[in-house]
């Protein structure tokens, strides 16, 4: 009775606190035409300038109000990724309490940000640590995954129908609650299903339920996908699938650890697909899963096995077609290496987690420009290096820039007219053919007069580059120097003009004409690594 009363009050509170009622807009959705995917929110294309909360922050509204909202307000974010904890919303079976979720939605509205909710359900980073007490303690009903040596894990086996039933019930109740309080305003714009799903400490589960499936035939749904997408499969699958179209997992993929990983990935993907479909049937929000990446030189199980990692994207696409995308969490260097496999026509790019460090600003620019990303999100966003001045974070400066060029990003996403650059000490230059010229991009520190050159500081450089017409470029970036060469032999490229520009509500506002020292007497376009700005250059050949 008490709980129901509190929930009803929370719903009333959320409704009363609506700051921007966007009544009657369509439910947030992905709109795809050709190579272009737009994320439509409140009937407009939306780009997520995101940040993900540290795992435990959203478990206390009081903590959020004191420590989180005031900090993140200053970083130019328009989206917060926040967990929803199964253990808190269903403390006893079938009794749901959405107070914390509803308070979060209400506070997000007050702070003028959207929410991506992360369902910390059956698994969070492989483990079943967020399932409620009544599940944790009932190991007869919710059977555990077993390691190869027969040890029980704190992971409920994905082969358990009881687990799926309970997970679906809670997930549907969550979506029903969101729909009830939010279908008109759309503060909640997307759902992450589970978190970094993967198996440990071996490549697969060895429980009796899993063993039975492992000895069975590979399902037709997977074989059809492999057959229909034979040419474009990831190199890993091309290597391990022997082309056979019937048989067991080892008969198709070999008697090796990767066959086990593929098997486990299939059953995770199909589990998630059922969960996502059940949730979407209640409230059709876009849904995705995030990946804990595999470590170079480690075997499945040494790294969290079977998640939607680059090697297994096709298994996940085949098993979970209901998902709108698969998204990598980046905690390693080599940003391009890890993210580019996700840039596919069947998969828009979203970086839901990136270690919150000084590189995130430049990497976000690269993600929006080169990978045509729909969003980016450093992890533990409420913990900037300087808690008193979060606006000094590179991500804040980047998001200011991204916010101003959002109409351009939306216009050129999915076209050949937008690309990105990422430069650092290890890769101080890059060359690309783009917009009718060859572009030579160098890090700002390559200039002899760069002030950071001598003190050894290498702020990462990056840019979104858009070429509306051949020989014209809009460069939104930091720490880069661009020179140009024509594609025609025996000619040279010259700069007609460079203008400093800003954008306000999609309108271009010209600033200074940049010439003389600012473009090295017509030799290059330069943006210092201490600055985040947009310049527009027009070229000619002679």
User: Which are the contacts of 529, defined by CB distance < 8 A and separation ≥ 6?
Assistant: 443, 444, 445, 450, 452, 457, 458, 459, 461, 478, 479
**Is 344 strand, coil or helix?**
strand
In angstroms, the CA 474 to CA 464 distance is: 8
Query: Which residues are bridge partners to 344 per DSSP?
Result: 347
In angstroms, the CA 183 to CA 150 distance is: 47
Output the smallest distance, CB 462 to ligand DGJ, in A. 23
Output the smallest distance, CB 54 to ligand DGJ, in A. 8
Looking at the chain, the number of H-run helices and the number of E-run strands are: 16, 23
Output the smallest distance, CB 355 to ligand DGJ, in A. 7
Output the smallest distance, CB 308 to ligand DGJ, in A. 13
In the complex with ligand DGJ, which residue's Cβ is closer, 58 or 108? 58
Residue with tokens 């045509």: 372
DSSP line for 303-335: B-BTSS-GGGHHHHHHH-TT-SEEEEEE-SS-H
In the complex with ligand DGJ, which residue's Cβ is closer, 55 or 177? 55
Judged by CB under 6 A, the chain residues 66 through 125 that form the site for ligand DGJ are: 125
In angstroms, the CA 52 to CA 327 distance is: 14
User: Which are the contacts of 370, defined by CB distance < 8 A and separation ≥ 6?
Assistant: 336, 343, 419, 420, 421, 422
In angstroms, the CA 352 to CA 366 distance is: 15
Count of residues touching ligand DGJ (by CB under 6 A)? 7
Nearest to 258 by CA among 300, 199, 213: 300
Query: Which residues are bridge partners to 146 per DSSP?
Result: 152
Output the smallest distance, CB 289 to ligand DGJ, in A. 11
In the complex with ligand DGJ, which residue's Cβ is closer, 13 or 54? 54
When CB distances to ligand DGJ are compared, the closest residue is 196
Q: Which two tokens stand for residue 151?
A: 């040890």
State the first-to-last Cα distance of the chain, in angstroms, to the nearest integer.
Answer: 81
What binding mask, one character per residue, do residues 274-313 give for ligand DGJ by CB under 6 A, x or -? ----------------------------------------
In the complex with ligand DGJ, which residue's Cβ is closer, 56 or 454? 56
Q: Which two tokens stand for residue 324?
A: 């709108």
In the complex with ligand DGJ, which residue's Cβ is closer, 331 or 337? 331
Output the smallest distance, CB 511 to ligand DGJ, in A. 40
In the complex with ligand DGJ, which residue's Cβ is closer, 195 or 404? 195
In the complex with ligand DGJ, which residue's Cβ is closer, 86 or 253? 86
Output the smallest distance, CB 101 to ligand DGJ, in A. 18
Judged by CB under 6 A, the chain residues 326 through 385 that form the site for ligand DGJ are: 329, 353, 379
In angstroms, the CA 354 to CA 379 distance is: 6
Output the smallest distance, CB 161 to ligand DGJ, in A. 26
**Is 194 strand, coil or helix?**
strand
In the complex with ligand DGJ, which residue's Cβ is closer, 38 or 290? 290
Output the smallest distance, CB 293 to ligand DGJ, in A. 10
Judged by CB under 6 A, the chain residues 21 through 60 that form the site for ligand DGJ are: 55
Judged by CB under 6 A, the chain residues 189 through 228 that form the site for ligand DGJ are: 195-196
In the complex with ligand DGJ, which residue's Cβ is closer, 187 or 192? 192
In angstroms, the CA 288 to CA 323 distance is: 5
Give residues in contact with ligand DGJ (CB under 6 A). Answer: 55, 125, 195-196, 329, 353, 379
């Amino acid at each position: 009775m008490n709980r129901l009363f509190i929930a009803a009050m929370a719903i009333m509170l959320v409704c009363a606190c609506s700051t921007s009622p966007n009544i009657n807009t369509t439910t947030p959705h992905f709109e795809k035409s050709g190579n272009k995917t737009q994320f439509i929110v409140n009937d407009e294309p939306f780009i997520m300038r995101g940040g993900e909360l540290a795992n435990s922050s959203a478990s206390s509204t009081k903590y959020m109000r004191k420590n989180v909202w005031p900090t993140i307000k200053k970083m130019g974010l328009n989206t917060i990724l926040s967990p929803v904890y199964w253990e808190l919303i269903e403390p006893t079976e079938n009794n749901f309490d959405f107070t914390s979720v509803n308070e979060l939605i209400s506070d997000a509205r007050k702070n003028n940000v959207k929410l991506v909710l992360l369902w910390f359900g059956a698994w969070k980073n492989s483990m079943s640590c967020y399932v409620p007490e009544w599940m944790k303690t009932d190991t007869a009903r919710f059977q555990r995954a077993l390691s190869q040596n027969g040890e029980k894990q704190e992971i409920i086996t994905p082969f358990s129908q009881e687990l799926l039933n309970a997970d679906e019930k809670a997930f549907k109740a969550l979506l029903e609650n969101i729909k009830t309080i939010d279908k008109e305003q759309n503060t909640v714009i997307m759902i992450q299903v589970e978190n970094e799903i993967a198996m440990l400490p071996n490549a697969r589960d060895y429980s009796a339920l899993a063993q039975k499936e492992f000895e069975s035939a590979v399902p037709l749904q997977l074989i059809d996908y492999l057959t229909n997408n034979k040419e474009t499969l990831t190199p890993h699958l091309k290597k391990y699938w022997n082309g056979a179209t019937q048989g067991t997992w080892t008969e198709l993929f070999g008697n090796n650890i990767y066959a086990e990983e593929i098997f486990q990935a299939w059953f995770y993907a199909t589990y998630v697909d059922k969960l996502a479909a059940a949730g979407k049937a209640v409230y059709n929000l876009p849904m995705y899963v995030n990946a804990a990446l595999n470590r170079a030189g480690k075997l499945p199980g040494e790294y969290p096995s079977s998640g939607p990692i680059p090697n297994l994207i096709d298994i996940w696409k085949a098993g979970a077609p209901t998902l709108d995308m698969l998204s990598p969490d980046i905690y390693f260097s080599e940003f391009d290496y890890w993210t580019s496999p996700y840039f596919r026509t069947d998969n828009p790019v979203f970086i839901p987690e990136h270690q919150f460090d000084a590189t995130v600003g430049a990497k976000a620019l690269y993600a929006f420009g080169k990978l045509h990303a729909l969003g980016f999100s450093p992890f533990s966003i409420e913990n900037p290096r300087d808690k008193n001045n979060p606006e000094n974070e590179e991500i804040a400066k980047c998001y200011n820039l991204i916010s101003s060029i959002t109409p351009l990003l939306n216009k050129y996403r999915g076209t050949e007219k937008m690309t990105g650059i990422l430069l650092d000490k290890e890769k101080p230059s890059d060359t690309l053919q783009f917009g009718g010229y060859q572009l030579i991009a160098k890090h700002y520190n390559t200039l002899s007069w760069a002030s950071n050159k001598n003190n050894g500081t290498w702020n990462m450089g990056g840019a979104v580059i858009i070429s509306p017409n051949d020989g014209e470029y809009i460069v939104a970036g930091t720490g880069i120097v661009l020179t140009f060469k024509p594609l025609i032999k025996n000619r040279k490229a010259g700069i007609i003009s460079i203008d400093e520009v800003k954008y306000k509500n999609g309108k271009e506002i010209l600033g200074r004409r940049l010439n003389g020292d600012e473009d090295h007497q017509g030799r290059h376009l330069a943006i210092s690594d201490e600055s985040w700005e947009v310049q527009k250059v027009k070229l000619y050949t002679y």
